[in-house]
Structure 1
Amino acid sequence: MRKRAGAVVGAVLLAGASLMACSSGSDEGGLDIPTFDPEAMASEDAAASAAAAEASASAEASASAAGVVSAESLTDAELGYYVVSIPEDLDEAQAQVLADYVAYDKATWRVWFTGEGIDDVALVATGDLLDRIYENYSNLNGEHSNPPVSVGISEVTVTDDGTLANITTCVDRTEMTDVDADGNDITDPATQNRVEYSTQMAPGSEGEWLAYEETALSWDECTTGEDR
């Protein structure tokens, strides 16, 4: 009954057998070799080390930000919503998009499972998609779905200018059932399937990503990726 409306900075090393301590003013052989200055060399080494540390810290910060999302952390077992796979090696921007997508997906499934939380959907969706969710909610008439639902996220893309993102998912509803307002089973076996969706998202006014369009791509052809 679900109404659906992813440098290491190298210090420059001076190599050689030995360095002659020749004055730059020497005219022997016409060579212009600077005087060895241990303080200057120490300063250069310190600058190179600082640059390397800064690059390493930046890389670690990005990895940490991307690492806060995992299939386990995105799953809500109490709701009956299970994320079983996500793409590997997400960068910080992709990780944020994924987290905001799952916030949208959970909010809508909470409505279909419990009939509650419709006001929260406006925080995670917008445009025609939000209007369709409102319309479907108004037509529930006490009906609701029973979990579980499993979701595999296969792709997370963000445009270079950061104005659009796309999430590709496989939603497994094979174990989900539907009941009417009196608790009678009204499950349609045709809806106990796996559906591949493409969901478009755009930045909101406070930097969050909002779902604004969702399209079904295939039925019973996708996999949630549990075997990956």
Structure 2
Amino acid sequence: MKKILLVVTALMAGLFTEGFAQDNGVRVGIKAGYSMTNWQGETVRKLKDLLEYTDGNVSTKMKHGFHAGAYLSVPLGNGFEFEPGVQYSQKGTVVEGRVPGDVGTFTNAKVTLTNKAEYIDVPLLAKVYIGQGFNLFAGPQVSFLLSNKVNVNAGAFGFSAYNNDFEWREAQRKVDVGLSAGAGYQFSNGLNFGASYDMGLTTIDQTADYKSYNQVVKASVGFRF
């Protein structure tokens, strides 16, 4: 699937740069950046309620990752653009449990569960420019699941005694529908910066047994040719 992403990106760039783009003002861009991801929803709220009884020995954390891809800037009028894109995106969440008491504090013994999900995101964004370069954007996003694993890591004294990945794909939803919104700044030389929030509208699991949704905060840097 990663090879498919590269092929799609190359075809988009070639098609619109050589022909259509020159006649219609369409610009091709690339972007990449840092992501912070987590889950939200009913199941997560229940988990946080349960965590209160553990006196902080179990906690949830944002997962760190990255995203990268390509997009098109299609002018729609003065100060308005349509921006479809394709990008690889890492998502997931982290749950960490520590051994309680003085012994646990001294040994730093803990078990960490990390959901490592990989998606192909296809955002369809409407962008409006407010002043010179500054812009706001929002729109729907469809995400296709590439892989989904859970990493289990257990250790103490800063050393890992057990570390293994398990496939967790069978019951997961293969297509996730959501919304993306954010703000950015476009420089005249093509360089741009942006920050966005992605909110999943469909549950992560296919049967919605646990009502959890992806949420992603992104910071990116890009270049529009």
Q: Which TM-score applies when normalising by structure 2?
A: 0.35
Q: Which TM-score applies when normalising by structure 1?
A: 0.34
Q: Going by fraction, where is strand more abundant, 1 or 2? A: 2
